Structure 1
C-alpha cells in the first residue's frame, strides 16, 4: 500500500489492510528450500551431533532468518553432561563484534527480557570467558542498569557464536544497515518497492471491480421510493422547519430478481461493466519485473501461458534461482562448518583450529528422480563415483548411506552359494549384453 495517496488511505481506512501479495515470502522460501544439508565430511560423528540438536529441522529457520534480516546466529555450548548443545538465535536478540582486519568474531552478546520476573539478561561471549549480566527491569532500554552476576571460563578459546551472513558485496559485511536490523543484505530489499506496486495494483483492481465491473441496471418512468431519514439513535431527522426529512432509495434492490412497473411507458436496461484487463496487464508487468530482479521463475509467480510449458523449459527458467541457491550454500557452508568444528571441540576437547569439517549440501537444482538416477548410474559405471558417493549425489543423508551399506552387507552375507553363483551369472550376462549393445550402436546397427 506504499503508493496509495494519503487521501485514498483515509477514504479506504483499514478495509484493505489484509490485502498483501506476499512475494518476499515466496522469494525467501524458494531459496531456503534449496539449501538442505545432507551430511558432513570427513568426520561422520559431527552429523550425529547435528541430528541430536535437531539442526536438520532448524537449519531451515537459520537460512530463512539470514535471508530475511541479512544475518542469523547459532550459539554452541555444552550441557551438564558435556554434550554439545546448539541454539538457533535471531539477530534481534544476538549481535557480534568483528575484527576489521580479519573479520573474525571477537565478542558476542545475547540479550533477552524475562517479563515474568521483571528482569533483563545479557550473556557476553568472549574467547576466554562467558559473562552473565542482569538488570532488575524488563524495559528494553535498561542499558545502564546491568550488573555482572556470573563468569564462566571458555575452554574453547574462541567465541562460540557463529554468524550466518547473507551478503552480495564486500561492503555488506561492514556497514550497519538500520533498515534490516544488522549487517548483511536482506534478500527482499530489491523487491519491496515492486511488491508495494503489486499490492497497489491489486487494491485498485478490487476497488474497480466493486464500483465499475458490476453491470448496472437502469430504469425510466418508474416512481422512486421515499422513506424517512433516521439518525444513529433510530430517531426521525427533522429539517429547520421541523419537517420530516425524506430520502430517496432505489425501488429495485440489487437482490430483486424481477423488476416490475405499472407504467407501460417504463423502460429497463443495463450498463455493461468495465473491463479489468488493464489492471491484469499492469500486474503481469510488475510480476515480470519482480522475476527479473529476484531470479524467481515466472511460474513461481503465477505467470502462465496459453501453451503448456515443457519440463525442460521449466528447469531452464529455474537456472537463475538454482545459481543463486548455490551461492547461498557456499556462503552459509562456511558458517555451518564452524558450527561442526565447535560441536566436535565440545565433545572431544580438541582445538577448534585442528578440526577438519566440510558440509555436504543437496543438489540445488530440480531434476526428476529418474533423470538423477540415470546420471548417477552412468557416473558410477564409468568409475567416477563410489557407491556411497552415488547415494550422496542422489540426496541420501549420511545415516541413510550407512543403513544402505549395512543392509547390503547383510544381504551378501546371507546369500547362499548357489544364489551367489546365479547372481554373478546374471550380472555377467547383463554386462555382456550392455557391451554388445554398445558395440552394435557404435557400428551403426
Structure 2
C-alpha cells in the first residue's frame, strides 16, 4: 500500500475501518474515566462480602487515581512557542511567529483548554486538537475527546494523520452526527433518527453503519474543500504511543492497585467497626425480662443490666456468672498490605510519597523533597518531549490559515518549569549562570524562567543597552512576574 492507495479509499471505506476502532478506544477511555471519577464498583470483592457490607463498601473510597493524574498533569503547562534557533530562522521572523502563535493561542482560550487536553489524555490515553477556518478566515482550534474521535496514521514516516472521524450525539433528540476529515476535505453524515423535514435518501447512497450524507453535502457527504493542501488538520495528543499497539491510559497499570487499595480500606473500616474493639462476654447471669423480652429490674422497671460504658461496673448477684473479653482483631496486617499497595502505586506513577501522606515527609529538608520529586520531574520532562512537537504541529496548522508565510517556521513548544522552585533559588541560579558567561536568554531558561519572561527581558535589555530608557512604541508583551528590568552587562570574555 502506498499514498495513492490511501487517497483512493472512499468515505465508506474509512467509516467501516474507523468506527469499530472508535468503539474500542471509547471503551478503554470510559473504563479509566470511571476510576478517575470514582464512580466504579469494586471488582475484588466476594459476593457474600458485598451482600453483607454493601453500604460500607459504597462509602469507603480513596481516589488514588485522581491523586496520580492530577499530580502529573498539574506540572504540564505550556508557556508559549518559539522558533527553533538551531534551524537558522531569522530573528525578526521568529518574533513575528511567536507573537502570531501567542495571539491564536489566547483567542482560542488554549491556556485553559490545553490543560483539559492534558487531563483527558492522561485519563483516556489520547485527546485531539482540530484546526479549521471560521467565517472570517481565522484559525479555530478545538479539543476533542477520545470517546468521540479516532484517527488513522500513515504506516510509514512521517506517520501523519491521513484520516480522522468524529462521532457525537445530539442531546435533544438523540440524532448521531459524523464528521470525517480526509485529504480532500471534510465529509459530514447523519445517522440514527431522521431529522425533521429531511428528504428520504435512497438506500443506494446510504453510507456504512447506517450513516447517510448530511443535508447540503454531495452523495459522499463532502462539504467543501480542504484548505490545508491535502493535510488532515487533526493532531493526536498522546505520550504513551507504541509502534504496533494503541496508546494506554496513565491509569492502565494503576487501576488494579486502586481496586485493591479500596478493598483494603473497606476491610479496615469493617474490621474497625466489628472486630477491632474488645467484646465483653457474660456467662451464667440471669437477666429478668418483660413480656416483650426487654431487660427489667426487680420492680419491673426498664434497665440496662450490663452497660458497656467505661464508667460503669458490671455486677451480677448470680454466683455462677463469668465475665470475659474476646481478643480484638489485629489490624496490623491490613495496614501493612495497604502500605505495600501504595508503594506499588508510587513506583508505577512516579508520584512521591508526600502527595499521598503529608506525614510521610515530616522533618525532611527541601533538598530531600526535591530528590523525592526527581522521578516525577523526569517523567514529566519525557511527556513534554512527546507532547511538544504535537502542540507545535497544531500551531503550524493554525498559522497555515492566518499567516501561510509563517507556517513552515520550525516551532518549538516552550514549557513552564516542572520543578518546585523558590524565587531565591531562581535568582541565585540566574546570577551564577550569567556570571559564568552564559547568554541572558539561556541563563534565564536554565534558571527556570518561562519563554514570555525571557523574551520580554531580552528585548527590554537590548533596548536599554542602546541608551534609550523610553518604552513608548515598543511592541513588548505584558511584563513578566519576575525577570530583570535593568540592563544586564555582557559577560566578560572567556580567558
TM bucket (normalised to shorter chain) is 0.7 to 0.9
Residue aligning to 2:393: 338
1:24 and 2:68 correspond = no
User: When you count strand as a share of all residues, which structure comes out higher?
Assistant: 1
Contact persistence 1:128–1:155 (CA under 8 A):
no
1:219-249 deviation line (CA, Å, top 9, x unaligned) = 45351546638xxxxxxxxxxxxxxxxxxx9
Match of 1:198 in 2: 261
Q: Structure 1 118/276 Cα, relative in aligned 2: closer, same or farther at 3 Å?
A: closer
* 1:148-187 per-position Cα deviation (integer Å, ceiling 9, x unaligned): 433121111211111012226433xxx3xxxxxxx31211
Shift of 1:406: 5.7
Is 1:164 the equivalent of 2:237? yes
Q: Which of the numbers 309, 314, 318 marks the counterpart of 2:364? A: 309
**2:47 aligned partner:** 6
Alignment CA distance shift 1:397-1:384 (3 Å): closer
TM-fit CA distance, 1:325 = 0.5
- Structure 2 stretches of 5 or more lacking a match? 1-41, 84-96, 196-207, 218-222, 294-302, 472-485
- Structure 1: how far apart are the matches of 2:194 and 2:327? 62
1:399 to partner: Cα distance: 7.1
List aligned pairs for 1:103-252, cutoff 5 A: 103-137=159-193, 143-149=209-215, 150=217, 151-157=223-229, 158-167=231-240, 169-171=242-244, 175=245, 183-219=246-282, 221=285, 223=287, 225=289, 228=292, 251-252=305-306
Which structure 1 residue ranges, 5 or more long, are not aligned? 176-182, 230-248, 416-426, 436-445
Separation in structure 1 between the aligned mates of residue 248 and residue 134 of structure 2, nearest angstrom: 34
Give the structure 2 partner of residue 279 of structure 1.
334
Query: Is it true that 1:98 corresponds to 2:185 in the alignment?
Result: no
Q: CA deviation at 1:86?
A: 1.0
- Which region of structure 1 is more displaced relative to structure 2, 211-220 or 156-165? 211-220
Aligned positions of 1:249-260 closer than 5 A:
251-252=305-306, 258=312
Q: Shift of residue 387 of structure 1?
A: 4.9
Matches of 2:154 and 2:288 in 1, distance apart?
A: 81
TM-score for the superposition, normalised by structure 1: 0.77
Does structure 1 retain, via aligned residues, the 8 Å contact 2:44–2:259? Answer: yes
How far apart in 2 are the matches of 1:36 and 1:188?
A: 21
What is the root-mean-square deviation in Å for CA atoms of aligned residues? 3.6
1:388 to 1:75, Cα distance in 2 relative to 1, 3 A: same
Residue of structure 2 aligned with 1:39, choices 80, 84, 89:
80
Report the Cα offset of residue 262 of structure 1: 7.2
Whole-Å separation in 2 of the counterparts to 1:137 and 1:184: 33
Segments of 4+ in structure 1 off by > 4 A?
Answer: 249-262, 264-272, 303-307, 403-412
Distance in 2 between the 1:351 and 1:395 partners? 26
